Structure 1
């Protein structure tokens, strides 16, 4: 097959050809010969090495053509296609043919757009979208669906027979019937009415449909049949050959609402003053056998998805919440890593075994933080006080590991930027509360990082096939953007030519008390490339780690499950892998790593989408109220602002500013022509919430300095809204 593909490529290097001409050039007369050519052509088309133009001629991309995935920005008016070298081609919407977000396209380079090459879509090679979620708009005899995702920059025509009794304004899921033409809308049919736009119960179905995620707790019958065969108790046979840790002080520490307990920890002080840390991880690979239906479904999902208080698990609840979960008082099978760590935070000895544990207590972060505080309650002392000495020893070790990581340059003080949503009895967001990590959260983080590094080093040292968690060095251009942003906030920073995470750690430390600390950290994260899974070890920039993996959460992450399988083979072969396993996993791991990275991105986007919707839901109940906001971005069309603590972002459009403002691109600021007023990044001002679009996740603000005019406008638009603007200039939020 490869030989035939080479022959075709050699032909197409010289000329464009239709299929018949290729037959003639290769002297293909018999059916079998033509079949081989067709198969090779399809392979080459699929891999993007060739394409068919509008006249059905096969052709090879040249230096002015690119095949890639077109991704539109949120407004839908500009798309970008990434080349193999990482550079991008900008595609204005008028040059995008009728391509949709995610389509595979052939692009012809044409001129420039800002600092990027510009291009035009010549041909759509492969469609990505089959289903879309949107808002139904009913006309007299027909309807349209406007996609929720602004990246999908077209409406879909719905014929009368395809409306499925949907009402005007309802959220629906549609299936595309045809993709239309440049001058004609694509057509679709409604396959499901999700619900009314304002109802909070439609939010998760919207996210599930948008990201093609399964219903929570729903698994194929073939998977559940396998689950039914798994005994609910561990047999004596399963315990044989395992290192038993039963009877030791081993316990779990998780959030209050957690049900799946992947990891348990235990600690001892050695005679020489070192620490012996045990990290015991649920032995999921014992239950999820390779190539089983359970395994195939787990790989397909690749990760659990956490949609605020709803989980779409990677594994059925019978496993994730019971047999694989390290439940208090129950014997459980584990992969048990023991590490001897010296006073400098170095692992001087370690061992990995198939283990057996019985967790003595299910602890929560809140309980541990209180027990280790200056004034723990009597109830907490009585409940978990018997573990206080162990926990205090763990905190000692945590400080050592944290300092060790800090010294090598790892970014250690980065906050998650997470918020807690408080809901009322009707499911509406009542409040948004920032989540602050306590000492127990930091402790578990340090232990898991050290465990992941230790396991990765076993395989890296021998150059054995493995799945690593890798993180490339930042893009220099993004670092310059970060530097410029910080300087606009009035901070002078030095950025070395050879970027080291220590420089970014210093930024985190120097800005932790700034009102825009969360915004700065988000931009810092954005300046770094995304961590992914890979079979090739290039290290982890953010952690300043030479080798890193994910070993500690196999209930909810498929890469961890693969790492466990490799560890079992590593143990069986007494510290290496068999030749047959090396060959097998060298072939399998690249594809598995790609799938896991891809599904992780899907999960992240789904989680972000729901959180953004809930933030807008909250602020939509505060139309007309005044907040203190900070300017996080300046553009020619207005100011991007953020409500600190609530982490709600929005826009003050330039038309809301009481002057004619010009945009100074060199200094990234807006200048008022009459008043001389200047708006810069980092400015603090009072702003009133004017509009909130939950589905589009957009919030509009206006400066509060023109109170009378704002109140008048809001009363006209929202007659029942109580406008709360402080005339005495004090901030109420």
Structure 2
């Protein structure tokens, strides 16, 4: 008898079914053959992982109750609890005491027990599938015993390592641990050292630490099957293929990217029409022509979800042959594209558009630096000669970009939130020597405006037809987050009216009013935190931050899987003008899974990028222990002051125990007040601080406030000693 998931579910949902073990189910379904039993066990396991059935403590298979949900658990970094993301995108809050023996990333069964703020609240009943098999941490010894302390603060356990599992690891070395036993009642988790990464303080260890911590592919690695397929498909366009497409090769099309970019997936063309309108072409690499649905390349790209940019190292979504080769819109080479042509009036409105499968030949590969120099009036002869073919187009592009930007501002789009990007400078040994803030110039803003307009235009095609699609959505902020933002602004002396039903224009006005404030970057951070994270979804609810009714990601298919999906869907519309009922049914089932997976992969990539950047910032300050910096207080708590060195975008803590008095925290006014001297510390105050401690593993930096430049050495030493004591306290 052939067993299927459908057959199993029919049994478990039938009125006559009594919760049964594997043996009993096999008997009911008359499964006797050894291979059939093996298949039944496999199908039951898959149904559990999908969350459609569960196996209770007595080994019986049942359908989850109405108050039971299944999802992936993610702990907060400060271990204040966790959130379980369900397959439908909804979240459930889990208090710290209710997480059971789950680890971050596990698939869990949760019983709903109540509500927490606006979310359902629950407790973990069972771990259905472990999300981690390896962890990165520091190898430490305690007497005769050895443990690995995880780098990830979301993992609350230390892992015991038996002597036979040391694998040559020495105390304080960074290691990759293979988990051999997960936490259970009365037992700590255990593991064996899989790989020694090196001394925790060695800068060269940071990159592999982040890669293994986030379970990313190693740079340069792709499965053999994927590499073979990449070589096979990475062929120049044939005459036959070119003949099927709109030929843009005589148009002045060019790319503008960063100095170090190698994959150019977007190019532009632009001209002013006789009627006063602008014709903007956004030409995007046709990756979908080479990465066919269901192929080895496609499966690997889906699993990765996105390219990951770890400072000067890239873990690409696609092999080099495609990402830097045949799909990259390099100068002077024929390249296949999906080309969007938009006619835009002087008010910034798209009055007409067309989408074609095209072929282009870029006339210039430009960099942001070059274009910024030109737009700023640099008349260097070599620069002007290099830009000669597109000088006129660049001036028209600037003109249109300003119109589009003004139009976005009028509708309320949140403008000018700096990405707070920094450039890390290294010496020949790989040590951090400086941190320089990166400012965006006019060319970066110009390209951003064109890509936003292209993404909105493509999204509207599907939104107006109400057919399955992958949108980039951004929900409205929670009211509580907005209240926190309001309190922060009040703490720095700003009185602003913030309505409950908030519009992005309100946030835009806050940024404009505070642009000259010394705490502007901190205000930006608080404002960003008050907003929800943008994600991919098959449901269009608009993009709050952009004040856009429909938005998607269409412009970067070399490095983002959702863009590749959008291209495939768009091609079907170009070809037929509609989806068949079968296609609609298929996409309605597939796209939610793809959107959720890609949102998760994007979050992992972001966290890896932030982790490495933070490690390098901590490394920088570790070389400057004892030095004095100008800083600004960005946060006040009962245990101390959070300060930031603005020119390095580097933050740390001034612990209350290092201050010159006994300080009491006034929660209402969000200030620290000295009991005897009555000195007050509040957000926005400028203070001179000395760096006294930096820990790359915990990402913690400690400062002390310097009253005078000639502080006595004993005060300095006392501060260092207190910092060391706090370090021990944190680790215990």
TM-score (norm 1): 0.90
Alpha-carbon offset, residue 110 of structure 1: 8.0
Question: Which SS does the other structure have where 1:461 is aligned?
Answer: helix
User: Equivalent of 2:351, from 348, 351, 368?
Assistant: 348
Distance verdict in 2 for CA 1:375–1:474, change over 3 Å = same
2:408 is matched with: 405
Establish whether residue 554 from structure 1 lines up as the match of residue 557 from structure 2: yes
Q: Does the CA contact (< 8 Å) of 1:372 and 1:388 recur in 2? A: no
Q: Does the CA contact (< 8 Å) of 2:81 and 2:93 recur in 1? A: no
2:265 is matched with: 262
Alpha-carbon offset, residue 418 of structure 1: 0.7
Paired residues in the alignment total 713
Q: Distance in 1 between matches of 2:492 and 2:461?
A: 45
**Structure 1 unaligned residues grouped into runs of 5+:** 720-733
- Within a 5 Å distance, the mapping from 1:663-702 to structure 2 comes to 663-702=665-704
2:532 is matched with: 529
User: Equivalent of 2:95, from 88, 91, 97?
Assistant: 91
1:723 is matched with: none
Distance verdict in 2 for CA 1:88–1:627, change over 3 Å = farther
Question: Which SS does the other structure have where 2:499 is aligned?
Answer: coil
1:131 is matched with: 134
Q: Does the CA contact (< 8 Å) of 2:322 and 2:328 recur in 1? A: yes
Establish whether residue 431 from structure 1 lines up as the match of residue 421 from structure 2: no
Q: Distance in 1 between matches of 2:244 and 2:393?
A: 28
Alpha-carbon offset, residue 606 of structure 1: 0.6
Question: Which SS does the other structure have where 2:634 is aligned?
Answer: strand
Distance verdict in 2 for CA 1:444–1:12, change over 3 Å = farther
Question: Which SS does the other structure have where 2:651 is aligned?
Answer: strand
Alpha-carbon offset, residue 608 of structure 1: 0.7
2:198 is matched with: 195
Q: Distance in 1 between matches of 2:16 and 2:177?
A: 40
Q: Distance in 2 between matches of 1:106 and 1:586?
A: 26
TM-score (norm 2): 0.90
| CA deviation map 1:29-58 (0-9, x unaligned) | 844899899889767644546655545566
Distance verdict in 2 for CA 1:491–1:438, change over 3 Å = same
- For the aligned residue pairs, the C-alpha RMSD in angstroms reads 3.1
Establish whether residue 251 from structure 1 lines up as the match of residue 254 from structure 2: yes
Question: Which SS does the other structure have where 1:645 is aligned?
Answer: helix
Alpha-carbon offset, residue 350 of structure 1: 0.8
Q: Distance in 2 between matches of 1:372 and 1:144?
A: 58
Alpha-carbon offset, residue 338 of structure 1: 0.8
1:724 is matched with: none
Higher deviation after alignment, 590-599 or 103-112 = 103-112
| CA deviation map 1:607-638 (0-9, x unaligned) | 11111111111111111111122222222222
- Within a 5 Å distance, the mapping from 1:694-733 to structure 2 comes to 694-705=696-707, 707-708=711-712, 709-713=714-718
Q: Does the CA contact (< 8 Å) of 1:77 and 1:153 recur in 2? A: no
1:474 is matched with: 477
Higher deviation after alignment, 34-43 or 353-362 = 34-43
Establish whether residue 584 from structure 1 lines up as the match of residue 586 from structure 2: yes
Q: Distance in 2 between matches of 1:114 and 1:588?
A: 32
Distance verdict in 2 for CA 1:345–1:163, change over 3 Å = same
Q: Does the CA contact (< 8 Å) of 1:692 and 1:700 recur in 2? A: yes
Question: Which SS does the other structure have where 1:567 is aligned?
Answer: helix
2:237 is matched with: 234
Q: Distance in 1 between matches of 2:482 and 2:155?
A: 30
Q: Distance in 2 between matches of 1:615 and 1:717?
A: 22
- Within a 5 Å distance, the mapping from 1:652-667 to structure 2 comes to 652-667=654-669
Distance verdict in 2 for CA 1:584–1:123, change over 3 Å = closer
Q: Distance in 2 between matches of 1:73 and 1:54?
A: 28
Alpha-carbon offset, residue 233 of structure 1: 2.6
Establish whether residue 635 from structure 1 lines up as the match of residue 637 from structure 2: yes
Q: Does the CA contact (< 8 Å) of 1:410 and 1:501 recur in 2? A: yes
Question: Which SS does the other structure have where 2:647 is aligned?
Answer: coil
1:19 is matched with: 20
Q: Does the CA contact (< 8 Å) of 1:12 and 1:60 recur in 2? A: no
User: Equivalent of 1:603, from 596, 602, 605?
Assistant: 605
Q: Distance in 2 between matches of 1:327 and 1:711?
A: 56
Q: Does the CA contact (< 8 Å) of 1:23 and 1:37 recur in 2? A: no
| CA deviation map 1:224-255 (0-9, x unaligned) | 11122135432212211211111221110000
2:514 is matched with: 511
Question: Which SS does the other structure have where 1:631 is aligned?
Answer: strand
Q: Does the CA contact (< 8 Å) of 1:112 and 1:118 recur in 2? A: yes
Q: Distance in 1 between matches of 2:10 and 2:232?
A: 50
Q: Distance in 1 between matches of 2:100 and 2:369?
A: 55
Question: Which SS does the other structure have where 2:336 is aligned?
Answer: strand
Q: Distance in 1 between matches of 2:365 and 2:682?
A: 49
Q: Distance in 1 between matches of 2:241 and 2:85?
A: 50
Question: Which SS does the other structure have where 2:233 is aligned?
Answer: coil
Q: Distance in 2 between matches of 1:464 and 1:109?
A: 34
Q: Distance in 2 between matches of 1:82 and 1:250?
A: 43
Q: Distance in 1 between matches of 2:49 and 2:274?
A: 62
Alpha-carbon offset, residue 173 of structure 1: 0.2
Q: Does the CA contact (< 8 Å) of 1:624 and 1:714 recur in 2? A: no
**Structure 2 unaligned residues grouped into runs of 5+:** 725-732
Establish whether residue 178 from structure 1 lines up as the match of residue 181 from structure 2: yes
Establish whether residue 374 from structure 1 lines up as the match of residue 377 from structure 2: yes
